[in-house]
Structure 1
Amino acid sequence: MGQILTERPLPLTHRPSAGRQFLQSPTVSIIAIGAIVGVSYTLAKFAVANGIPPFAALFWQLFGATIILLAAMVVRGKRLDLSPQYLRYYIISGLLGVSGPQLIAYVVLKHIPAGLFTTLITLSPLATFMMVSVVDRQLLPLYRLAGILLGLIGISMATLSSFDAGNSGYVWVIAALGAPLLLASGNIYRNRAYPKGADPLALATGMLGSQMLLVWPVLIYRGYSFSPVDIAGTVEAAVLIIGALTAIGYILTFAVQRTTDGVGFSQVGYFATLSGIAAGAVLFAEPLSPLLFVSIAVLFLGLAVTNGHLNLPWR
């Protein structure tokens, strides 16, 4: 008979504290990514509101992020995998998760509030859930649906009473809905096509770099002359900050993607909404719902339920 092996518990002095375990959990990274996304969308509105063309803003965002990531790869002595499998992953994940949603953002943010746009991004978790159910031809566990709906309720409490889509034009609101649908598709694709053993930094570099090369010809063809290289004011600085936030956000994205699935990761949309509302209130004096703090509590509850952090009796 084979010997039964049991895992020996770590000595108390070597066990990570509860606080450290929380900081190393996917939840913290998901919150950080959401905050980065929300602030980035608000800065994007600031950029296009001050006359920067959408394609130019998108290119320089991708350019800045790619330069930062390439520098990080050089420092760490890493190389970019350019095999067909990786190139396909870079391009498809980039179109679904970066270029498509970001271009939509730059276009519609001229016409709708940043808070309203980030509210619509909150639909990506529910869209991810529905798409996974269709692709797998089965419903996901009930507790995951309950967690997603809790998060959606939390966001709705703080936002639906604060924004009036009628004043923004329903055409632009409908167009904005393309962003969460693309993000949901990107969540599923990245999770299912994630190259085994791939380095998160290399994946982020390849994805953003591929999108930069795809947008570049359009920029040249349209003859846009805007460049933030010589910082002349806050608008140029905003574009460069978006690029830096993008680089950090996607390093975290690919790291988290290894520890949770597309549905779990899609909770980023909730935190993007909260940070977007806060940033929009500060930068554009957009209305701030008094129910925001209640929604945060409901939001965290929904995230905990969806990611299985709570032992529910009906799981």
Structure 2
Amino acid sequence: MHDNEPLFMQKSSLSRPLLGLFLLILLGFNWGTGFSIARFATTNGVPPVGYSFWQSLGPAITIGSIALLRARSLKLNFSRAGFYFICGLTGIVIPNTTMYLAAPHLPAGIVAMIVNIVPIVAYPMALLAGLETFNWQRIGGILFALCGLVLIILPASSLPSAGMVPWALSTLITPVSFAACSIFVSRYRPADCDSLDLAAGMLAFSSLLLTPMVFFTHSFYGFHFPFTSPDWIVLLEIILSSIGYILYFQLIKVAGPVYFSMVDTIVVLTGLMWGYFIFGEHLNQWTASSVLMIVFALLLVTQQQRAATLSAIDAAHENNA
């Protein structure tokens, strides 16, 4: 969900590299921490669908309140409702629920690595949709990522048990759904819909979509008083998710989409780090090789994305000169 407001095309948006780097690391650390939190919650009595519900409703209330405090009127009509519905379904309900269902069954670091191949998945989808041009460097990144995924799934000694392989495969639904959402937003986003509107609308509609799922599957998680450890963990992730959206908006404002394109690599490394410290997850020869390949693939794909974005900014300034 890259914001495409005029601020992106201002040179001043790239003039504060230290602040941009700080926000980038903070956002990547925030998002990367979420995988271990989800694993802890879903292995300590919080149903995955119920967890997904709170991670939609909590930030929806927070972001919606911020929008109202900024005296914004969140526009809603039939076409806008359809747009938010599809974004909420493909950008939150499907990917988050799939990820949280897999979280109790996979190492947190592996989940973080698979989920964050979104730029790699999005490129061929954007290519098919006519939103990107063919580039050999990005194709090379895709091939490296595929090799990395093969090293996770095929070797019998890669994952701790063979029963994890189906869960690893199912987790691929998450980056595919995120990528589909980004392509849909790029093509059909209303001209007067900024990122705050989009986030609030997506979260509100995803909460509505998850409500019947929670009750039909008897997965609602009720908080206890006084709070138990799982309660605090769910609340912590609601706070972190809300802060993550705010950091996202601020990073885009301060540093532009060039810096933002590097966040997935930091998220992967953070997810692996917390998996090691919290759950004692160790990389063997296969998973370590997979990490190197996928991180390298992300660098290949996003480096070309950064170069293309900078070229577009320079061309815009030349046209405005």
TM-score after normalising by structure 2? 0.74
In structure 2, the CA distance between the partners of 1:175 and 1:310, relative to structure 1 (3 Å rule), is closer
Bigger helix share: 2
The separation in 2 between residues aligned to 1:32 and 1:89, in whole angstroms, is 30
Equivalent position SS for 2:105: coil
Q: Please, which moves more after superposition, 276-285 or 137-146?
A: 137-146
What's the offset of the Cα at 1:100? 0.8
Q: CA deviation at 1:270?
A: 2.9
Structure 2 match to 1:78: 72
Q: Within 5 A, what are the aligned runs for 1:104-183?
A: 104-136=98-130, 139-145=133-139, 148=141, 152=145, 164=159, 166-183=161-178
Equivalent residue in structure 2 for 1:42, among 17, 36, 39: 36
User: How much has 1:197 moved relative to structure 2?
Assistant: 3.2
State the distance in 2 between where 1:55 and 1:219 align.
6
Write the distance in 2 (CA, Å) between the matches of 1:205 and 1:63. Answer: 10
Output aligned runs, 1:4-43, within 5 Å: 20-21=16-17, 23-24=19-20, 32-43=26-37
The unaligned stretches of length 5 or more in structure 2 are 1-10, 312-321
Q: From 49, 58, 73, give the equivalent of 1:55.
A: 49
State the 1:128 CA deviation. Answer: 0.9
Q: Which of 217, 220, 227 in structure 1 is aligned with 2:215? A: 220
Change in Cα spacing, 1:128 to 1:165, as seen in structure 2 (3 Å) is farther
1:159 to partner: Cα distance: 8.4
| Alpha-carbon shift at residue 272 of structure 1 (Å) | 2.3
Could you give the per-residue CA deviations for residues 208-247 of structure 1, whole angstroms, max 9, x where no partner exists?
A: 0111111112223334452237461331111122222222
User: What amino acid is aligned across from residue 38 of structure 2 in structure 1?
Assistant: A
Aligned to 1:277: 272
Larger mean CA deviation between 128-137 and 286-295 belongs to 286-295
The CA deviation string for residues 44-73 of structure 1, in whole angstroms up to 9 with x for no partner, is 111100021111111111121112112212
Q: Determine what percentage of the aligned residue pairs are the same residue.
A: 25
CA RMSD of aligned residues (A): 4.0
Aligned pair count reads 292
Q: Which has the larger radius of gyration?
A: 1
Structure 2 counterpart of 1:236, from 231, 245, 248: 231
Q: TM-score, normalised by structure 1?
A: 0.75
The offset of 1:182, in angstroms, is 0.9
Indicate whether 1:247 and 2:242 are aligned. yes
Paired letter, 1:99? V
The one-letter amino acid of 2:44's match is: N
